[in-house]
Every structure is written in C-alpha cells, then in structure tokens.
Amino acid sequence: MRLLGKVAEAVIVRNCTDNTQLNRAWLSKARKNRTTQRFADSFKAIGIGLHSTKRRYPRKYSPSDPQRDVIWINDGGECALVAGSQATAGTIAGLQIKVSGNGLNYIRKSLADLRYEVPLVYFPMNNDFEKVLDRVNKMGLVVEPGLDFINVREIDEDAFFEVREYYPLLLSLFTGRLTGDDFVREASGMKTLRNGILAATMFLPKSDIRIIH
C-alpha cells in the first residue's frame, strides 16, 4: 500500500497537470478556500517525493516530509499557501495522500492523532470512507468530510479507478505470481506507475533494489 500510495501521488499530480479544472479543485482543497481559475493557473502541482520532482525541482524534493505529499509552486518557485497565511509566516498548502484497503486500522489512527495540518486525501480500496469517518466521529473528534478528510472519488473518480486497477498488478508482483521482468513488460508505457515505483524504491536499501533494463 505504501508503493500504491506513491503511485496515487503521481496520478494526482499528472491529472492536475493535464486538467486545469482538477488543478483548481485540488488546490482549493489544499488552500482550504475557494480558489479562482486565474490563481490556480499560475501554480502547478508537484509530488515532493516523486522522482520527477527530484529531477526538475531538487529544492522542493523532500520524500521524508511527514506532512505533505503534493504541493503547488509557481514559476518563481514559490509555494501556494493556505488561505489567510502571511508570506513571511504562512502554512504551505498541500495534500497528504493515503491508499488503504483497511482504513479502520490504518487511516483512522492518522485522523485520530490529528497528525496532519493539511487535508488527508483517501483512496478507499474497499470503499470504506464513510466507515472510517463514522468511527472517528464516534471517538468525539471533529473531522469534516471534504475539508479535513477527502474521498478522492468526490474530486477525481478516474484517479481512484486508475489506482485500483494497478493494485492486482502490484499484488501479483509482491506475492511472486509475477516476476520482475514480467512486471516491467506489463507496466510498459505506464509512466505514472513507473514514477510512483521509482519514488517508493528510493526508501529501500540499495541491496534490495534490482534495476531491470
């Protein structure tokens, strides 16, 4: 799921790049305020843990950031801030991306601990968004859906289905039903999937990484 989370990060960034309306929608969520199209068009989404960001924007590359997976920058390299922030002491707008098939155990704890200062975007592989939200609210916490905790399907359903389609492919790889060479052939042409995998493997010891040409 950690690997799939990196893929989900890459999918959201790519879709923001390809679709100005989606870019505006996600930036509005990240800024926690309605954002004009003109403002949104001056910022581009980047995944701070992605290989593509390390190559193009090395100063923004921060794979160990515990708060944000996706941020927005303008041509001058300035980050979009949460609405109401001051330029000298502002909060960087961003999204935390999570993918899980068992959100009651995995996502609920993150929400209960109030771990993130940015919205948590959830890819619910087993469609358990409402169950997670209900459990957290029963704990007495105030988590507002669509603001603090966002179901990716409400903003970009295509992103959800794309990531879900990758799941059996990755599962086959990790369970040994698919060899590394077979996986490379199956994933041929899936640039976003490759970007996410590259980002995830950067966390592994070098001895655990095999490069297949």
Tens-place pLDDT, residues 138-196: 888 888 899 999 999 999 999 999 999 888 777 776 677 666 565 556 555 555 565 55
What is residue 46's DSSP assignment? E
Percent of the chain with pLDDT over 90: 52
On whether the CB atoms of residues 87 and 77 are closer than 8 A, the answer is: no
Region of poorest pLDDT, from 11-25, 104-118, 140-154: 104-118
* The pTM of the whole model exceeds 0.85: no
Comparing 86 with 164, the larger pLDDT belongs to: 164
* The pLDDT of residue 13: 96
Torsion angle, CA of 20/79/150/140, rounded to 10 degrees? -160
52-61 long-range Cβ contacts below 8 angstroms, 24+ apart? 52/10, 52/195
Query: How many C-beta atoms surround the C-beta of residue 188 within 10 A?
Result: 9
Helix (H) or strand (E) holding 97, with range, is: strand 94-100
DSSP-derived pairing of the beta strands 94-100 and 70-73: antiparallel
- Report residue 43 CA to chain centroid gap: 17
What distance in Å separates the CA atoms of residue 173 and residue 150, rounded to the nearest whole number? 29
**If you average pLDDT over every residue of the chain, what do you get?**
83
* The pLDDT of residue 206: 35
**What's the whole-number mean pLDDT along residues 38-61?**
93
Q: Which of 94, 163, 79 is nearest to 123 (CA)?
A: 163
